[in-house]
């Protein structure tokens, strides 16, 4: 399924694939390790996407401000017979307040295009040709022809030469990063790291969704959004079993960076929960009320004191 999708997309986005592959090949020329090179590429991508992550997090916080109105609508339109009207009223509220109920899911959706891009790149880098192709003498491999034909990168690059030398394998820390969990492995123990990668990626996806949901209870008020947040990690789990370990590295690193970014935003107050801000506003309002009461209490005292002074002055004038 994923292969058919990437085949049709690949014909259109060849320049994009070549750009990312060239960046990856450049990083690999400096750090000749596939896992570390993909990790650094992921950090670069996430650095570019950080402003979008900040924006989506702030949008999520803004969503909290309409939570009281959402609860009122839920109380007003109770029952299954009013569900459609409730959804219509919720959509109207979201539109009026300019909030996005899918703010908690947005970071996860953003990852999907890059998943497709890297999936196609890994497939292209480990491409095996049916016909033998000449090997660039610059590789100094001592062979004239090979069936390993990596796409997207120059045939003189370090990554290209190493892929040819390893017969198309992307060996890193004892793992072929081009293999999938259900690919043919020499033993169960050899396959175990690939399934561990899937488990870690799914856990981080779930943790990220949980982190966003706790900060955004309004997303749970919409039954449709609640279902999306529950089943999205399951959907990605299915996809993770179909993609190479190299792409899983991207998903794991990007999720970890996004979780850390969101945590920093909340800890530094850049994205402050509405509840905390509400307490400050409430405190200021209470202070104003107390001041007003003090003025009201002091006003009669001042008036009484002024009246007493006028009475004394009158008695003095009569005595004179």
What pLDDT, in 10s, does the model give residues 272-314? 554 444 443 334 333 443 444 454 445 455 555 655 555 555 5
pLDDT in tens, 224-281: 556 666 777 788 888 899 999 999 999 999 989 988 888 887 787 665 554 444 443 3
Span of 13-17, 56-60, 154-158 with lowest mean pLDDT: 56-60
Q: Is residue 17 part of a domain?
A: yes
Q: Is residue 41 part of a domain?
A: yes
Q: How confident is the model at residue 188 (pLDDT cuts 50, 70, 90)?
A: very high
Q: Is residue 260 part of a domain?
A: yes
Q: Which residue has the higher pLDDT, 285 or 180?
A: 180
Q: Is residue 307 part of a domain?
A: no
Interval 29-47 mean pLDDT: 94
Q: How confident is the model at residue 161 (pLDDT cuts 50, 70, 90)?
A: very high
Q: Is residue 179 part of a domain?
A: yes
61 lies in which domain range? Answer: 2-126+169-272
Q: Is residue 201 part of a domain?
A: yes
pLDDT in tens, 55-112: 777 777 677 667 778 888 888 888 778 888 888 888 888 888 777 766 656 666 677 7
Q: Is residue 268 part of a domain?
A: yes
Per the structure, the count of domains in the chain is: 1
Q: Is residue 108 part of a domain?
A: yes
| Alpha-carbon distances, residue 128 vs 3, 171, 199, 211 (angstroms) | 16, 16, 30, 42
């Amino acid at each position: 399924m994923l292969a058919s999708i990437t085949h049709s997309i690949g014909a259109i986005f060849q320049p994009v694939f070549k750009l990312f592959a060239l960046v990856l090949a450049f990083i690999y020329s400096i750090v000749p390790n596939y896992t570390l090179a993909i990790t650094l590429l992921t950090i670069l991508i996430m650095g570019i996407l950080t402003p979008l992550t900040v924006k989506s997090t702030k949008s999520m916080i803004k969503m909290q401000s309409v939570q009281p109105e959402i609860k009122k609508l839920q109380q007003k339109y109770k029952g299954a017979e009013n569900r459609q009207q409730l959804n219509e009223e919720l959509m109207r509220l979201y539109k009026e307040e300019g909030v996005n109920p899918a703010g908690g899911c947005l970071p996860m959706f953003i990852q999907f295009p890059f998943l497709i891009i890297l999936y196609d790149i890994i497939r292209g880098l480990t491409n095996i040709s049916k016909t033998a192709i000449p090997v660039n003498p610059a590789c100094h491999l001592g062979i004239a022809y090979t069936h390993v034909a990596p796409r997207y990168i120059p045939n003189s690059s370090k990554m290209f030469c190493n892929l040819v030398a390893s017969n198309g394998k992307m060996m890193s820390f004892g793992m072929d990063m081009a293999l999938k969990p259900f690919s043919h492995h020499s033993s169960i123990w050899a396959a175990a790291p690939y399934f561990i990668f899937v488990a870690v990626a799914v856990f981080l996806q779930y943790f990220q969704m949980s982190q966003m949901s706790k900060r955004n209870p309004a997303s749970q008020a919409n039954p449709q959004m609640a279902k999306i947040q529950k089943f999205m990690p399951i959907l990605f789990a299915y996809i993770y079993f179909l993609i190479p370990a190299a792409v899983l590295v991207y998903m794991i690193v990007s999720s970890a960076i996004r979780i850390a970014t969101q945590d920093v935003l909340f800890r530094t107050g850049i994205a402050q929960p509405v509840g905390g801000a509400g307490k400050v506003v409430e405190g200021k309002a209470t202070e104003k009320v107390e001041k007003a009461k003090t003025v009201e209490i002091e006003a009669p005292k001042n008036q009484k004191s002024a009246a007493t002074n006028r009475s004394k002055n009158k008695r003095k004038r009569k005595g004179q």
